[in-house]
Amino acid sequence: GDSVTQMEGPVTLSEEAFLTINCTYTATGYPSLFWYVQYPGEGLQLLLKATKADDKGSNKGFEATYRKETTSFHLEKGSVQVSDSAVYFCALSDLGYQKVTFGIGTKLQVIP
């Protein structure tokens, strides 16, 4: 079945540091890929998405590129802020769009 692998963390960074959260996936067919973010006490919000190979999703300074050859969708941000502290989930949507599979989530802590 489909699966998504990401580090659980926590990842602790100083403000303005560079962020990378790795995400790799296993899927039959050609899935769409997502990053969701969950702030404390809230539900998940879509951060960015990509639907085909070499697509780059971007939002709020975050970026991720759909790499089919390495089955990866790593999340990056050049300069993190304290307000970016949250849990980040990598996810994929199968070809039938009927099911979304999530990674375990990576907790990010940004300290001033």
Partner 1 sequence: KAGVTQTPRYLIKTRGQQVTLSCSPISGHRSVSWYQQTPGQGLQFLFEYFSETQRNKGNFPGRFSGRQFSNSRSEMNVSTLELGDSALYLCASSTREDQPAREQYFGPGTRLTVT
Mapping DSSP to helix (H, G, I), strand (E, B) and coil, where does residue 108 land?
A: strand
Among 64, 93, 108, 110, the residue binding partner 1 under the rule CB under 8 A is 93
Q: What residues are paired with 91 via a beta bridge?
A: 34, 102
Q: Residue 105 and residue 7: Cα distance in Å, rounded?
A: 7
Among 24, 44, 63, 74, the residue binding partner 1 under the rule CB under 8 A is 44
Asked if 69 is part of the footprint of partner 1 (rule: CB under 8 A), the reply reads no
Among 3, 14, 26, 45, the residue binding partner 1 under the rule CB under 8 A is 45
Asked if 98 is part of the footprint of partner 1 (rule: CB under 8 A), the reply reads yes
Burial of 70 (0-12, 13-18, 19+ CB in 10 A): exposed
Smallest distance from the beta carbon of 99 to partner 1, in angstroms?
A: 5
Q: Residue 96 and residue 39: Cα distance in Å, rounded?
A: 29
Helix (H) or strand (E) holding 59: strand 56-59
Mapping DSSP to helix (H, G, I), strand (E, B) and coil, where does residue 96 land?
A: coil
Asked if 53 is part of the footprint of partner 1 (rule: CB under 8 A), the reply reads no
Asked if 41 is part of the footprint of partner 1 (rule: CB under 8 A), the reply reads yes
Smallest distance from the beta carbon of 81 to partner 1, in angstroms?
A: 23
Where do contacts with partner 1 occur on this chain (CB under 8 A)? 32, 34, 36, 41-46, 49-51, 89, 93, 97-105
